[in-house]
Structure 1
Amino acid sequence: MLGLMQDRPLVLPHIFHRAEQLFGRKEIVTATADGEQRITIAEWAQRVRRLATALDRLGISADGRVATFCWNTAAHLELYLAAPCTGRVLHTLNIRLFPDQLTYIANHAEDEIVFVDRSLLPLLWPLTDKMDTVRHYVVIDDGADVDIPDDPRILDYDQLLAESEPFAGQFIVEDENTAAAMCYTSGTTGNPKGVVYSHRSTVLHSLISLIADGAALSERDVVLPIVPMFHANAWGLPYGCLLAGSTIVFPGPNMTPKAVLELLASHQVTVTGGVPTIWMGALPMLGDYDLSHLRVLLCGGSAVPKSLSEAYREKLGVPLLHAWGMTETSPIATMSTRRSQHDELTEEQRANVRAKQGQPVPLVELRLVDPDTGDELPWDDVHTGEIQAAGPWIAKEYYRGEGGGSQYTEDGWLRTGDVAAADEYGFVRLVDRTKDLVKSGGEWISSVELENEIMAHPKIAEAAVIAIPHERWVERPMACVVLKPGESLTAEEVLEHLKPRVAKWWLPDAVEFIDEVPKTSVGKFSKKTLRDKFAGYKLPGADA
């Protein structure tokens, strides 16, 4: 027996038409080099309609890949809707990737057109002769003082829209499983791999940003997405804002802590989200701004040090809201909102909970698996194993079958590569990446937990722990430490700080002070870079 409900596809045109019809008066603000640009959703929607016609005029194929090389702006949001609402595929290019990776990705995806902010043109243009399938480069003028080459492939974005009539009527995508967007992994090992999001997966994922035990976006909110729009659709915040009718503030190219804090204060932002490095940089200046309107500070991309989250709670009354996921999970898979079982805990115990990655969000299933035996492990906050994920917005394979399916189990679960434990309520505690664990004398040391304890020191800004080969113990941990400006510290003092906090055999065998922890293209610690830097490093007593 079948249900008697209407069979309406879950597609992005619904999000567009809802925003256009119900929230036309709401504003989208973009910070630029020349000041702020404001546009209502009604005006923005007309530009989306013009852009849809422009893609037809340029002969972009029915399912053509429409690439973007852009900051977080209202114009980028126009592309977020115009491409998928016309049946094409939005492809957000990561502006921080190496040139060889960018050209590989553009060719692998077979991009037909690239929209690029004028300020980013110098990064992209030297690569264009190697982008084999791209026929047009459309420059979005963001006020940057950058010369535009005289080349017939280059078009002006505003002129293109002005010469195009608005698309009339309703956008229609009949099959909800049609590709809507694609994003490539950061490629820390091997070539980046393409993750292709469907309309169905994107709509369902967007709804999660509206749930109470999440960001709980509403029409009253003012949202500042700091996480880049080129990274996993900015955690779904742009689409979620359009669904809810929230006011959106985009930071544009200036992502310095000072610029971000000024936007948070001047627009009375209520919800924002970014990686830990953003919040680390902003912490010393919090007292200079009125941030009393903030109710949600999303933080993801890597494990959040408890000391950082608690510093925000102490200064603002609002801790960082930890979330976990990856490009392959669209990316939200867990969120660490407070639940009823935490009501009776002490403040210190609650701080430990806030440092966890949280409970799986609705529709996402997680399990912990022993990587050696393949056995599923209990949720007891003791046993650790690889997180595997399944759900309607979890990738089932990579574009063009890259990776040979090795990241997916026989029964269809995603092998995330993250090692974690989970308590009886399903609250995930990230231990490490499988490739970043330190195996010493047959026992595992969590680099993440060790880093968090090091960063609890008041003089330390950042810390990354890597494994160094050891003749006797196979591997031992080395701490790479960045001090706060004007501070001094010795390796012995770092170890003294750690002694009451971790097991004796976890103590690093060496502490190296560095100027900065290198970052990946999405702001995570690049431990591969550190491992390369310290290749051949001789630990004290390594020959013992």
Structure 2
Amino acid sequence: MPDHQSAMMPTPLLTSDIIENAILRYPEQRIVSLMPDGHKHEYSYIEAHARIKKLANALSKLGFNKGDRIGTLANNHYRHFELYYAIGGSGAVIHTLNPRLFEEQLEYIIKHAEDEYIFVDPCFIPLLENIQSRIPKVKAFIINCFESDMPSTQLAPVYCYEALLDKETSDFDWPKLKGTDNCGLCYTSGTTGNPKGVIYDHQSSILHAMMSGSSQFLSFNEWDIIMPAVPMYHVVAWGIPYSAPLFGSKLVFCGDKLDGESLYHLIDSEQVNKGFGVPTIWLGLHNYLDSLKQDTDLEPISPIPSLKMVGVGGAASPTNLVKAYAEKYDVYWMGLWGMTETSPLMSASVNSPSIQKLDPESRYHLQSSAGKAMFGTQIEIFDQDNQTLAHDGIQQGILKVKGPWVLKEYFKGEGQENFEDGWFNTGDIAVINPEGYLRIVDRAKDVIKSGGEWISSVQLEDAALEYASINEACVIGVTHPKWDERPILLVTIKPGKVFEQEALIATLKQKVAKWWLPDAILQLESLPHTGTGKLKKIDLRNEYKDYLIDKIQ
């Protein structure tokens, strides 16, 4: 054969291979789901596999063409797990719908994706009832429940998930697909303009699972009990429904129970050792554990002894929480970074001997960063002239990325302006230090441009959280007659704590330059969040854009 041809077998990497491998290597490993009524559903990988194949048969009878999109509007539970594998493995594309989107956005992405069917949890049925007349191309709705629990609904036609499975056998042959065939679709949050679709293929999903679950990154194995508190309806729950079975870990799904008390009891009862979620998830757990401490005279060494690591992304990691989890609970806080467009994981501050040798404050600082890039991916920072910047931990630039699980174009070819010379422009402003640690300074749209200089809202928020009374902090740029923009700080206060503005300002002065200090500090009852736990800064900017103008006048 010619020298330039590969001598290796052209075997495709498919998501269905993960569950097939799981029943061979880890057949009795468990999947636990906390259901809406509070009971737990538990079964093995081999039982999940049988149901997945029944579902694949049911999908075939419903009818679809290869590459068709099939929507899911569901929380984290075993049925959603089954849909991940049955839809993609059958040759269709699972389109996870975010129930926290505005009604108009939900309608837009269902129509844009051209979803053929939608599998929906009973709690989300009203969302679809409100828009059914405007999504006529959806052929049917399947309710994720038992036949005895079928609710009354205006949706039509409707089927019962369990009734469909009851009619089928577990004898199903996966179709012969290519690694480049698509298997998943997720839309961006759409904080500016309409959401854009990111479509994942089998090979990119497998490569992401192989690397993200490896010892270089999340380090999954058969001993692990993993709780993804990141939603399966957004960014593939960080790929954990694929990476955990690939490495044989036990999965614990928390459903819609994301409050601190529910998470505590689930972690404790299932002995979870690795959890994943946005900072607000771990803030809620911390606040609940703090309340337990106040109710007792004795402070335990750790109320969550099984938990050893939390992976945290989706927003900046507050250093005060990194410290609290280390010193109060003996939990390693691993900062993660990624996007819908990157499948999503790209970098992490993985625990290592070199990190453990650092003094605590230096260690916490690195843990709160986005960490180092995963093998196979590249990260780089560029100036306004598209020239690369030094990795000195000081120079700030536009973050661009590339890799085998980074998109090269949005679904239906949108957003071409985000791609240049093989790089994807993330829209983030970042620094990279000499050791390769990435730190997201801000979203480009959130950077406050004051008198020609940049102020990082993320760094100012992190500084504010050093003041012990603050529960959450949000910094936004608002219009200023002289400086174009100036920061204002919006805060919520922990229950039972006293807030003194002068004390907060004194804390800020120790952390940031004087000209970074906010021009106003406002105490609020709550701050708005997106469905993925991020602060809704665009809403707050709109609400407060003229705050300083009105105050000056």
TM-score range, shorter chain: over 0.9
Match of 1:332 in 2: 345
Correspondence for 2:431 among 421, 446, 449: 421
* 8 Å CA contact 2:260, 2:287 repeated in 1: no
How far residue 142 of structure 1 moved from its aligned partner, in angstroms, is 7.4
Match of 2:298 in 1: none
Inter-partner Cα distance in structure 1 for 2:115 and 2:103: 16
> Partner letter of residue 51 of structure 2?
R
**Are 2:275 and 1:275 equivalent residues in the alignment?**
no
How far residue 330 of structure 1 moved from its aligned partner, in angstroms, is 0.7
Correspondence for 1:408 among 419, 423, 428: 419
Aligned to 2:251, the other structure's residue is in SS state strand
- CA separation of 1:348 and 1:51: change in aligned 2, threshold 3 A: same
Aligned to 2:429, the other structure's residue is in SS state strand
Matches within 5 A, 1:279-358: 279-286=282-289, 288=292, 290-358=303-371
Unaligned runs of 5+ in 2: 293-301
How far residue 68 of structure 1 moved from its aligned partner, in angstroms, is 0.3
**Are 2:52 and 1:41 equivalent residues in the alignment?**
no
* 8 Å CA contact 1:117, 1:142 repeated in 2: no
* 8 Å CA contact 1:118, 1:139 repeated in 2: yes
* 8 Å CA contact 1:206, 1:240 repeated in 2: yes
Inter-partner Cα distance in structure 2 for 1:51 and 1:29: 19
Correspondence for 1:399 among 411, 418, 422: 411
Match of 1:456 in 2: 466
> Partner letter of residue 362 of structure 2?
Q
How far residue 344 of structure 1 moved from its aligned partner, in angstroms, is 4.3
Aligned to 2:474, the other structure's residue is in SS state strand
Inter-partner Cα distance in structure 2 for 1:509 and 1:213: 44
* 8 Å CA contact 1:24, 1:41 repeated in 2: yes
Match of 1:471 in 2: 481
Aligned to 1:452, the other structure's residue is in SS state helix
Matches within 5 A, 1:507-526: 507-526=517-536
Match of 2:296 in 1: none
Inter-partner Cα distance in structure 2 for 1:217 and 1:539: 53
1:301-344 C-alpha deviation (Å, 9 max, x unpaired): 01101001110101111231100011001110110013454454
How far residue 237 of structure 1 moved from its aligned partner, in angstroms, is 0.8
Inter-partner Cα distance in structure 1 for 2:109 and 2:265: 35
1:242-278 C-alpha deviation (Å, 9 max, x unpaired): 1011111111122211111111110001111000001
Aligned to 1:111, the other structure's residue is in SS state coil
Inter-partner Cα distance in structure 2 for 1:163 and 1:332: 38
Correspondence for 2:179 among 176, 179, 188: 176
Aligned to 1:228, the other structure's residue is in SS state coil
Aligned to 1:432, the other structure's residue is in SS state strand
- CA separation of 1:441 and 1:201: change in aligned 2, threshold 3 A: same
Of residues 276-285 and 119-128 in structure 1, the stretch that sits farther from structure 2 once superposed is: 119-128
* 8 Å CA contact 1:119, 1:144 repeated in 2: no
How far residue 286 of structure 1 moved from its aligned partner, in angstroms, is 3.0
How far residue 222 of structure 1 moved from its aligned partner, in angstroms, is 0.8
1:129-150 C-alpha deviation (Å, 9 max, x unpaired): 2112211100012799883226
Inter-partner Cα distance in structure 2 for 1:137 and 1:93: 13
* 8 Å CA contact 1:275, 1:302 repeated in 2: yes
Match of 1:121 in 2: 125
Match of 2:231 in 1: 228
Match of 1:387 in 2: 399
How far residue 486 of structure 1 moved from its aligned partner, in angstroms, is 2.3
Aligned to 2:547, the other structure's residue is in SS state coil
Of residues 335-344 and 17-26 in structure 1, the stretch that sits farther from structure 2 once superposed is: 335-344
Match of 2:220 in 1: 217
Unaligned runs of 5+ in 1: none
Aligned to 2:264, the other structure's residue is in SS state helix
* 8 Å CA contact 1:34, 1:143 repeated in 2: no
1:451-499 C-alpha deviation (Å, 9 max, x unpaired): 0010111100000000011111111110001111122323333212211
**Are 2:24 and 1:13 equivalent residues in the alignment?**
no
**Are 2:493 and 1:490 equivalent residues in the alignment?**
no
* 8 Å CA contact 1:509, 1:539 repeated in 2: no
> Partner letter of residue 448 of structure 1?
V
Inter-partner Cα distance in structure 1 for 2:508 and 2:49: 55
- CA separation of 1:29 and 1:154: change in aligned 2, threshold 3 A: same
Correspondence for 2:375 among 339, 358, 362: 362
**Are 2:247 and 1:261 equivalent residues in the alignment?**
no
Inter-partner Cα distance in structure 1 for 2:14 and 2:120: 26
Inter-partner Cα distance in structure 1 for 2:525 and 2:500: 15
What's the Cα RMSD here?
1.8
Could you state the TM-score of these two structures normalised by the residue count of structure 1? Answer: 0.96
Aligned to 2:72, the other structure's residue is in SS state strand
Aligned to 2:33, the other structure's residue is in SS state strand
> Partner letter of residue 249 of structure 1?
V
* 8 Å CA contact 2:143, 2:150 repeated in 1: no
Correspondence for 2:511 among 501, 504, 515: 501
Matches within 5 A, 1:150-165: 152-165=156-169
Matches within 5 A, 1:239-250: 239-250=242-253
**Are 2:90 and 1:86 equivalent residues in the alignment?**
yes
* 8 Å CA contact 1:67, 1:115 repeated in 2: yes
- CA separation of 1:195 and 1:445: change in aligned 2, threshold 3 A: same
> Partner letter of residue 338 of structure 2?
G
> Partner letter of residue 436 of structure 1?
D
Could you state the TM-score of these two structures normalised by the residue count of structure 2? Answer: 0.94
Aligned to 2:414, the other structure's residue is in SS state helix
Correspondence for 1:106 among 105, 110, 121: 110
* 8 Å CA contact 2:191, 2:538 repeated in 1: yes
Inter-partner Cα distance in structure 2 for 1:143 and 1:34: 19
Q: How many residues align?
A: 539
Inter-partner Cα distance in structure 2 for 1:366 and 1:480: 32
Of residues 516-525 and 175-184 in structure 1, the stretch that sits farther from structure 2 once superposed is: 516-525
Aligned to 1:463, the other structure's residue is in SS state strand
Inter-partner Cα distance in structure 2 for 1:362 and 1:144: 48
**Are 2:534 and 1:530 equivalent residues in the alignment?**
no
How far residue 535 of structure 1 moved from its aligned partner, in angstroms, is 2.6
Inter-partner Cα distance in structure 1 for 2:179 and 2:242: 16
Inter-partner Cα distance in structure 2 for 1:61 and 1:511: 55
Aligned to 1:52, the other structure's residue is in SS state helix
Inter-partner Cα distance in structure 2 for 1:528 and 1:67: 28
How far residue 10 of structure 1 moved from its aligned partner, in angstroms, is 1.4
How far residue 281 of structure 1 moved from its aligned partner, in angstroms, is 0.9
Inter-partner Cα distance in structure 2 for 1:23 and 1:539: 63
> Partner letter of residue 406 of structure 1?
E
Correspondence for 2:386 among 374, 387, 390: 374
* 8 Å CA contact 1:390, 1:413 repeated in 2: yes
- CA separation of 1:160 and 1:63: change in aligned 2, threshold 3 A: same
How far residue 62 of structure 1 moved from its aligned partner, in angstroms, is 2.3
